[in-house]
Amino acid sequence: MPRRPTATFVLSLDVEFAWGVHDRIDPATIPFARVEEIVDALLELFDRYEMPVTWALVGHLLLDGCDRGVEGLPHPEMPRPRHSWLKGDWYRHDPCGPADRHPAWYQPQLAKLIRGAAVRHDIGCHGFSHAIIGDRGCDAATAMAEMEAAAAVVEGATGIRPTSFVFPRNSVGHLSSLRDSRFRIYRELDRSWMERIPVPESVRKPLRIIDLLLPTDPPAVVPSEVLPGLWSVPGSMLLTRAEGFRRFIPATLRSRKAIAGIEKAIRTGRVFHLWFHPWNLLNHGEIVFEALDSILAHAGRRAGEGKLRLATMADLLPSDESAGSTEAGARR
């Protein structure tokens, strides 16, 4: 028997629909309902290449609907973050049901859809309402409520307690609450140079484009145990969207970079961790799909040669830790 390769390709998706932007813009300006088609196409693509993926879902999406409390506020039981940029109540855009009328806010069939795929995916969490957990406006009680509520909704929908967590906007914080909520692994900020330097997001965006043009490989990463029983795995690369001027970046440039990252993981016996947001494929998504197709084809080929493991975040846990989630991730 050949030795099982430790080089691993992991893909994690931040799935939020309207919840990803509700604190910054009016989500009604973006056709989030169409993200359903993108999710369907992604599931088909992952089945074709037998790629198990970590789907980090905003918990609220899985609700069948929700009601206003006695004072007319949505989710009166939930503590609110006090982000400095926020105007009005955190849940002010929540339509409070019914689910079928507001697909940007509710996708109760999503867990079943993912579980129904031929590949065994990992369903993780991306908060309950996308509060920015590492921001100083999010206190410990709010962080804990975000994590617990999200985990409870996913567990209710799938029967499996989720172990993977992706912090909204990669804003990492309140790690002891994360561990107390029985999550076991989270995505840490990317190891790449342009994600680490302290510049505003408006400066970082062009830097990501510059990096795509540079002949450098994205970083290969390793999971590490940050608290007893709680692991982190950094991202290696964000799959760049094709909106606006980014549509002029050909798919080959995106896939070439990711494939270089996969090869680096194989050379070093480490992890190449790609991630993106499905809703970012709303505009010129065909370019990103083409890139993803090439990346998955390459990864599938290398996996077939026994050089690469295709895995979810949950699969990166030591085997005793992942006992509760083995069902969630295909192993190879």
Could you tell me the smallest distance in angstroms from the CB atom of residue 316 to Zn ion? 21
The conformation of residue 139, written as its DSSP 8-state character, comes to -
195 contacts Zn ion (rule: CB under 5 A)? no
User: At closest approach, how far in Å is the CB of 187 from Zn ion?
Assistant: 11
The distance of closest approach from Cβ of residue 169 to Zn ion in the complex, given in angstroms and rounded to an integer, is: 6
**By the 8 A CB rule, do 218 and 261 touch?**
yes
d(CA 272, CA 12): 11
Q: Does 146 bind Zn ion (CB under 5 A)?
A: no
Strand pairing partners for 225? 231
Q: With H, G, I as helix, E, B as strand and everything else as coil, classify residue 289.
A: helix
Cα–Cα dist 264/232, whole Å: 20
Closest to Zn ion by CB, 14 vs 188, is 14
Asked if residue 14 binds Zn ion (CB under 5 A), the reply is yes
Q: Which is nearer to Zn ion, 49 or 106 (CB)?
A: 106
Asked if residues 294 and 31 have their Cβ atoms less than 8 Å apart, the reply is: no
Question: Tokens 């031929």 identify what position?
Answer: 118
Return the DSSP state at 30: S
> Which residue's CB is nearer to Zn ion, number 126 or number 302?
126
124 binds Zn ion, rule: CB under 5 A: no
Query: Cβ 14 to Zn ion, closest distance in Å?
Result: 4
Among the residue ranges 6-14, 181-189, 233-241, 299-307, the one whose residues contact Zn ion (CB under 5 A)? 6-14
Q: How many residues bind Zn ion (CB under 5 A)?
A: 7
- Least gap, CB of 41 to Zn ion (angstroms): 20
If one asks whether residue 127 binds Zn ion (CB under 5 A), the answer comes out as no
Is 20 among the residues that bind Zn ion (CB under 5 A)?
yes
* CA R_g for the chain: 19
Length of the chain: 332
DSSP bridge partners of 187: 233
Residues 166-185 that bind Zn ion (CB under 5 A): 168
Query: CA nearest 309: which of 273, 276, 258, 260?
Result: 273
Please identify the residue of the shown chain whose CB is closest to the bound Zn ion. 66
Q: Which of 13, 39, 51, 66 binds Zn ion (CB under 5 A)?
A: 66
168 vs 234, beta carbon nearer Zn ion: 168
Nearer Cβ to Zn ion (127/270): 127
Closest CA to 299 of 327, 274, 326, 279: 274
CB neighbours (10 Å) of residue 6?
A: 14
Minimum CB–partner distance for residue 176 and Zn ion (Å): 22
Q: Which residues bind Zn ion (CB under 5 A)?
A: 14, 16, 20, 66, 74, 94, 168
